[in-house]
Amino acid sequence: MKIQNLSKTYNGKTVLDQFSVEFPSAGTVCLFGPSGCGKTTLLNCIAGLESFDAGAIEGAGDMKISYLFQENRLLPWVSAHENVAAVLHGSAKNNAEQAEKWLALVGLEGAGSKRPSELSGGMRRRVALARSLAYGGSLYLMDEPFQGLDAQCRDEMIALFQKQAADALKIIVTHDFQEAQMMADVIYILDGPPVKIMDKIEKNPA
């Protein structure tokens, strides 16, 4: 996927100014940068949720995108189980089995019948992670995916995504450099706005 000369201005504030970057078709890319530098705006442009003023994004249109937003965005009036099943398109029985499976994989077996308001913050985040994996795709956009999780749980979730979404491209926004180092094949150190690449760290450079 290729981002070429992307520009975007909000009410006179330039967040993207001819920003270019190229991503591999699989693996984990971490975007690390200070609050407000434009990371979420970039993800939203890739997802097609935000328009841009100039430039182009090549390749993303062909990919099924699973977007884990910075906020959980769970439906408050249904259970954790139904939140996960809602993104599935099989038979009701199959969807229920799949939802059960993904909730178990994030360590929430037995909690599926609870509504989001009955869960802890970390549990709600895990429901959102389960939903993201259940939906699946060739591109995962993940905005601070492991916020609110303790270190052990975070490590388990990283391992789960590396296994279950091994063939996908995962673009992960994080403020936690240790987290980036743990999971990334490539880390982009960003600054801004407007977003610029200060450094690129590759785990296994060719």
Task: List contacts with ligand ATP (CB under 6 A).
Answer: 10-11, 15, 33, 35-41, 70, 193
Of the two residues 81 and 170, which places its CB atom closer to ligand ATP in the complex? 170
* Shortest separation between residue 151's beta carbon and ligand ATP, angstroms: 21
* Shortest separation between residue 130's beta carbon and ligand ATP, angstroms: 23
Which position has the token pair 């390749």?
59
* Shortest separation between residue 181's beta carbon and ligand ATP, angstroms: 18
* Shortest separation between residue 43's beta carbon and ligand ATP, angstroms: 8
What crossing angle do the helices spanning 121-135 and 92-105 adopt, rounded to 10°?
Answer: 130
Question: Collapsing DSSP states into helix, strand and coil, what is residue 130?
Answer: helix
C-alpha pair distances (Å), 175 with each of 11, 122, 144, 187, 204: 26, 17, 7, 12, 22
Of the two residues 35 and 204, which places its CB atom closer to ligand ATP in the complex? 35
Distance CA(156)–CA(48), nearest Å, equals: 30
Of the two residues 36 and 90, which places its CB atom closer to ligand ATP in the complex? 36
Which strand (E) or helix (H) includes residue 78? Answer: none
Of the two residues 40 and 79, which places its CB atom closer to ligand ATP in the complex? 40
* Shortest separation between residue 70's beta carbon and ligand ATP, angstroms: 6
Nearest to 20 by CA among 36, 37, 3, 7: 3
Of the two residues 13 and 200, which places its CB atom closer to ligand ATP in the complex? 13
